[in-house]
Structure 1
Amino acid sequence: MRMIFINLPVRDVAAATAFYQAIGFTKNAAFSNDVASAMQWSDAISVMLLDHAFYATFTDKPIADTHTTSAALFCLSFDDRAQVDAIHAAARDAGGRETRAVKDQQFMYGGAFEDRDGHTWETVFMDMAATPPADAAPEHAA
C-alpha cells in the first residue's frame, strides 16, 4: 500500500493534536511524543505535527508563517455534504478559522478552513453522477 505523510510545523504540539482529534483525525501513539504527533486520517494518509525545532531538523529553509503566507493547500474529500458541514463546525469549535465558506457548486460542495497554525485544509464532497464535462468545470475545483 502506498501512503502519504504530510509533515506540518506547529507551535504547540499538544494544542495542534487536540485540534486534529476534534476534526476527526486519530492519534497514533506509537509515532508520537512531546515534539511530534502522528495523526491518522485514513489507512493511507497521516499528518505529522512537528514542533518548530524538530521540523527545522528536516530542512534548511525558514519555516513559513502560514497565517500570512500560503505554503500549500490540502484537500479532504467526504462521502456527503453533512460530513463537510460537520468538519467545518468542528474546526471552528476547536479554534480553527473558516477561510472559505462552504459553497454549493452543483456537483461539488465544500469550502476551506485553517488549523491553529494557519495550515489550510479544503473540503469537498463530489457527486460524481452529476459531474459536468471537463471543459465545464467550475473555477475552484476544490
Structure 2
Amino acid sequence: MIFVNVTTTDLERSKAFYTALGCAINPMFTDENAACVVWDENTNFMVLTHGHFSQFTDKQIADPHAVAQVLLSFSRDSREHVDKTVDAGVAAGGREPRPAQDHGFMYGRSLEDPDGNLLEFLHMEPQAAEQGPEAYVAEHGAGPDPVPGR
C-alpha cells in the first residue's frame, strides 16, 4: 500500500474536493487533524492540517501554491475518464494550471487541489504501455512528439 501525505489549510474543503473526484474517506483514519482519502485498495492520501503534518518533519512546510515539491500522477482507463476527473476537480474548487497534453500515445491533464497540491491524470494507450511509445508511433503515426520533454 502507499500513503501519500499532503497538507491542507482547510480539511473539510479538502475532503469535499477529493470526494468530488470519486474518492472515499476512510473514517477509521479521519479526525479533526487528518483525513484518509482512498483512491483504491492500494493508494491512499493522508490530507493533514499543517499542525498535524509538522509532527512528522522538522522541515518548513512548503506552500504548494508557490513551489512544486511533488507531482502525483494517476492513470485513468480512457481519455474521457481523464477529462471527467479533472472537470470534476475544477468544479469542486481545483484549478487546471496548464492545457491538456496530448502526445498521441498518452493524454494527460494537470489539476491543483484547493491547497495547490499538484495532481496529474493520464491515459496511455495500451500498446504504448506494453511496448513503449515508439512502437505505438510506428503503427499509428507520429502526431505530437512521442516522447514528452524531448
TM over 0.5: yes
Matched, 1:57 2:55: yes
Once residues 137 and 57 of structure 1 are traced to their aligned partners in structure 2, the CA distance between those partners, rounded to angstroms, is 43
Once residues 103 and 139 of structure 1 are traced to their aligned partners in structure 2, the CA distance between those partners, rounded to angstroms, is 9
Q: What fraction of aligned residue pairs are identical, expressed as a percent?
A: 38
Secondary structure of 1:101's counterpart equals: coil
Partner of 2:123: 125
Q: Comparing both structures, which one devotes a greater share of its residues to strand?
A: 1
Extract unaligned runs of 5+ from structure 1: none
Measured on the aligned residues, the alpha-carbon RMSD in Å equals 1.7
Once residues 100 and 108 of structure 1 are traced to their aligned partners in structure 2, the CA distance between those partners, rounded to angstroms, is 16
1:98 corresponds to which of 96, 99, 104:
96
Secondary structure of 2:109's counterpart equals: strand
Partner of 2:138: none
Partner of 1:70: 68
Change (3 A) 1:140 1:95: farther
Partner of 2:40: 42
Partner of 2:142: none
Secondary structure of 1:67's counterpart equals: coil
Per-residue deviation at 1:140?
4.5
Per-residue deviation at 1:100?
2.2
Matched, 1:30 2:28: yes
Partner of 1:138: 147
Give runs of aligned pairs for residues 5-16 of structure 1, distance below 5 A: 5-16=3-14
Q: TM-score, normalised by structure 1?
A: 0.91
Q: Which amino acid aligns with 2:108?
A: G
Q: TM-score, normalised by structure 2?
A: 0.87
Matched, 1:86 2:92: no
Secondary structure of 2:116's counterpart equals: coil
Partner of 2:140: none
How many residues in Structure 1 have an aligned counterpart in Structure 2?
138
